[in-house]
Amino acid sequence: MAWNEPGGNRNDNDPWGTGGGRRGNDQGPPDLDEALKKGLEKLNKMLGGKGKKPGSGGGGSGSAGGFGAILALAAILVVGYVAFQSFYTVDEQQRAVVLRFGEYSRTENPGLRFKVPLIDDVSKVGVTNVRTAKSSGQMLTQDENLVTVDLQVQYRVGDAQAYVLNVRDSNQALAFATDSALRHEVGSSSLDDVLTEGRAELAVRVEQRLQSFLEEYGTGLQIVRVNVESTQPPPAVQDAFREVQRAREDEQRVKEEAETYRNKVVPEARGQAQRMIEEANAYKQEVIERARGESARFRELLAVYQQAPGVTRERMYLQTLETVLSNSSKILVDTESSGNMMYLPLDRLTQNALPRSGSQSSGSSGQMDIQSVTDQVLQELRTRQDTNVRRSR
């Protein structure tokens, strides 16, 4: 049965009663203001405040207790917020620059760090990530020609303190320094160097000059790499420049072909020259040795000649005659066998004498084997020489 049903025991079923006691004749809902006051009094007692005195008025003490509780709650919130703001985290890729009353205090490394709220100001700076900036424009070269250069700069923060404190806008300072360094280096180079072979060297020079500018400005930035993406002449002269480029490529190709031919011909010529030198040295040595042999043979022959001059002279004559006859064509005609005059074609006989050295002569023409006759003559001469030698002895 519900506590407010007719005929029931209302006092026992009253949920707002204490210990089943009756709370007068009030049968309405509980008083929320009284419950709130009781809660505030308990909170005030917990915070060290004084509770409600017996016999004192309920309105004034309740207001004071409520205001104290609000102040206590506000103090708790403030303390929690201050504690929350006192700690911060620095990532591995960052460095934290701490300013105390606007003045540089320290630079914190990665980790959990503490700061004094409302006094310290922390600026986190990424120092490991590489950033990119681009620059492009037309500028004059040393030979007073216009050229368009597109440049890309890769950089990172090297000094977090200088990056935060020295320059208001480090990126803007980098853009100005890049433009200044690029124009200075392009103005010190010719158009051909900027457009062709000198692009890589141009990037190196721009990087060095740009780094010196940034260090002088104290920006805290460090250049990682400078890339010259493109260098082009003005549009009005691009066709002529392409023709010049093609001509240079043809020139380079012809030079390479000439160098290849040179590398092929020069070693061959050197080899031939060395071979000729070796042959000349061999001929020289041969002549020297032959002369030495001839001189030695002459000395030996002189000794023999001094012992038998006549025999030696005749022998030398026969040897000389043998040498001469063996190297010449000979035609022998037997005029005793026939009294008729014969016509001899000497030119043909001279031409055919050597190829027909092994053939037999015919009885009708009267021709004889030239080689056999020569051998017979030489044999007879040797016989006479031996006879003379024996007679002289």
* DSSP for residue 52: P
Signed CA dihedral, 285, 290, 291, 293: sign only:
positive
Question: Is the pLDDT score of 264 beyond 80?
Answer: yes
Bigger pLDDT: 209 vs 248? 209
Q: Tell the burial category of 370 from Cβ atoms under 10 Å away from its Cβ (0-12, 13-18, 19+).
A: buried
Please report, for the chain, how many H helices and E strands are present, in that order.
10, 8
* DSSP for residue 87: E
d(CA 377, CA 201): 94
Token pair, residue 371, equals: 């080689």
Q: Tell the burial category of 366 from Cβ atoms under 10 Å away from its Cβ (0-12, 13-18, 19+).
A: middle
Token pair, residue 48, equals: 């060290």
Question: Is the pLDDT score of 154 beyond 80?
Answer: yes
Question: Is the pLDDT score of 232 beyond 70?
Answer: yes
Domain 130-234: assigned CATH number: 3.30.479.30
Positions of CATH 3.30.479.30 in the chain: 130-234
Q: Which SS3 state, helix, strand or coil, does residue 29 take? A: coil
Q: State the pLDDT at residue 340.
A: 52
Distance from the first to the final alpha carbon of the chain = 189
Q: Which amino acid is at 389?
A: V
Beta bridge partners of 50: none
Radius of gyration of the chain (CA): 64
For 144, half-sphere exposure in the C-beta direction (CA atoms, 13 angstrom radius) is 0
Bigger pLDDT: 61 vs 308? 308
CB 96 within 8 A of CB 161: no
Question: Is the pLDDT score of 366 beyond 70?
Answer: no
What integer best gives the mean pLDDT of the chain?
Answer: 76
**Residue-wise pLDDT tens digits, 201-211:** 999 999 999 99
From 19-33, 121-135, 254-268, the region with the lowest mean pLDDT: 19-33
Most confident of 13-22, 194-203, 364-373: 194-203
Most confident of 37-41, 304-308, 347-351: 304-308
Q: Which SS3 state, helix, strand or coil, does residue 36 take? A: helix
Question: Across residues 61-67, what is the average pLDDT?
Answer: 56
